[in-house]
Every structure is written in C-alpha cells, then in structure tokens.
Amino acid sequence: MTVRSVVDALDARFPRNWAESWDRVGLVLGEFEHPVNRVLCVVDCVPETVDQALDVGADLIVAHHPLFLKAVSSIAPDTFKGALVHRLIRAGVALYTAHTNADVANPGVSDALAARLGLTGLRPLAPAEGAAAGEGRGLGRVGELPEPLTLAALTRLAAERLPATAAGVRAAGDPERIVRTVAVCGGAGDSFLAVAARSGADAYLCADLRHHPVSEHLAAGGPALLDVAHWASERPWLDDVAAWLRDAFGVEVLVSDVDTDPWTVHANRDDLEIRP
Ligand SMILES: [Zn+2]
C-alpha cells in the first residue's frame, strides 16, 4: 500500500466535493509513493497526536479536523502549525483530512455517534444537497432510542457511552422530560437548532452549545438539548473509519484516544448531577 492508494480510496469513500465550500479536505502533506503499513486516526492534528503518530510509527494520519482551514503565508517551524508540518515531513508521516465530507457520508460521523446511544431507524437531520445529495447522506442523524428515557437518564447514558472528558455532558430542559426520538450532530451543532426543532426529536445532542441560542431555543418549545465535548462527539467515528481502512487494505490501523478537547478541568460546587 502507498499513500496514493490509501488517499484514492479515502477520496472515493469521502469525495472531496461533498465537503462544505469553506472546508479544506484531502491530503495535506505526504509523499504519494511512500509505503503505508500503519495508520493513526485522530480527531485533531495537534502536538499530542503527532507525538503519538511518531511513537507508534504511523505512516499516515487520518484526521477529522483540517490542520489548515484558513490561508497561511508561512509554515515556518516557529509557528504552531508550521512546527507540526516540519515534524511530520521529517518523520515521513502523511496527513489526510476528511471533515464535512465525512460528516455527510452514509455512514458518517453522526452515525457513529448515534450508534453509541443505540439509536435505530436513522435518517439525516439535514439531508445533503448538491454534490453530496442522496442515499441517506446529510449532516446529523435522527433516530429512536430502544426505550423511552427521561432527559436525566439520557444524559447519564450519553456520559457512559461517549468517551470520558473533563467537560462531561450537560443537558438543558426539564430533567423529567420523556425522550424517545433523538437528533444528534457530531461537532458544533447550534446551526441546526431550528432543524432539530422541526425534526420531531424530543432531544438534540451536539457540541459547543451556548447560553443565548439554547435559552431561546427552549423558550420557543424546542427539543431538550445535550451538550457534549466536541472531541467526544467525533471520536466514535474514528472506530468506523479505522475498521473500514483495515478491511479495505489489511493495514494496521490505530485509533487515538488522546483527548484533544481543550477543556481539561470541570468542577461543580456540589456533587449533584442535576442542578435544580
Ligand atoms: Zn468537529
């Protein structure tokens, strides 16, 4: 296997033209003819995960988030991202990104998140349009819980089933509200609050929610909300892409459990899980 053959397969699985127009996906750096024996899947390409890639002897990093989303005029080694580029090139490690093109894919990032909660009968929360349209593709998923749960119980379930983080899981809405239908979206999901409200979901789980959008959404009678750590919402997808890469190429594929969520400390004044 070479970088070129794995990149071609990833591009076919997650076509680059399925990505949002603002997104930047595909091969970031790496020699096409370099052999690939070991792959590391990560959410973020940051010093900690680059350390891990070098430690385990990976030839290729498959990352969810782009290293470069905005244009740069320098990759000098004294810049944060430039230093990573230099380290990767020196070590002969290629870097590939599948971001919003993996979000809309079927199965995609939110399928893996929905599976952790045991949701069935999945459909896209926001069906894909344009180049990515079709076959159950789109951003987010809506599905049914195996049995109805209160919002408080669903919050505990999410905390148990998703990777542990300092941020944990918090929920907004009546803790006793009964939830049957759940919408999920890996990563920042506040742009889909209105879509979630129209989806028929009793609760919507995503990351990066904020005070005013949440308050106004609830005041308008929208579904209960669960706010999880961004990394934890996308980490489940790494298992899926790793399994697919193993099957497709027979290469060794490792999944990073280095928690790259920026939040590292969480404290409550008391131990109550639900604040009245
Ligand atoms: Zn993300």
Rounded distance from Cα 67 to ligand 1 centre (Å): 12
Rounded distance from Cα 270 to ligand 1 centre (Å): 31
Tokens standing for residue 32:
């096409």
Rounded distance from Cα 230 to ligand 1 centre (Å): 6
Rounded distance from Cα 163 to ligand 1 centre (Å): 15
Cα(223)–Cα(200) distance, integer angstroms: 8
Rounded distance from Cα 196 to ligand 1 centre (Å): 18
Look up the pTM and report it: 0.95
Average pLDDT value for the chain: 96
DSSP 80: H
Rounded distance from Cα 234 to ligand 1 centre (Å): 6
| pLDDT for 150 beyond 60 | yes
pLDDT range class, residue 271, cuts 50, 70, 90: low
Nearest by Cα to 212 from 201, 195, 225: 225
Cβ neighbour number for residue 239 with a 10 Å cutoff: 15
Cβ neighbour number for residue 15 with a 10 Å cutoff: 17
- Strands 120-127 vs 138-150: parallel, antiparallel or unpaired: antiparallel
- In tens, the pLDDT along 3-39 reads 999 999 999 999 999 999 999 999 999 999 999 999 9
Rounded distance from Cα 46 to ligand 1 centre (Å): 14
pLDDT at position 268: 83
- In tens, the pLDDT along 196-253 reads 999 999 999 999 999 999 999 999 999 999 999 999 999 999 999 999 999 999 999 9
For ligand 1, a single-atom ion, which residues have Cβ within 5 Å?
A: 187
- In tens, the pLDDT along 95-120 reads 999 999 999 999 999 999 999 999 99
Rounded distance from Cα 149 to ligand 1 centre (Å): 27
The DSSP string of 228-256 is E-HHHHHHHHHHHHHHHHHHHH--EEEE-
Please give the average per-residue pLDDT across 51-59, as a whole number: 98
Rounded distance from Cα 32 to ligand 1 centre (Å): 27
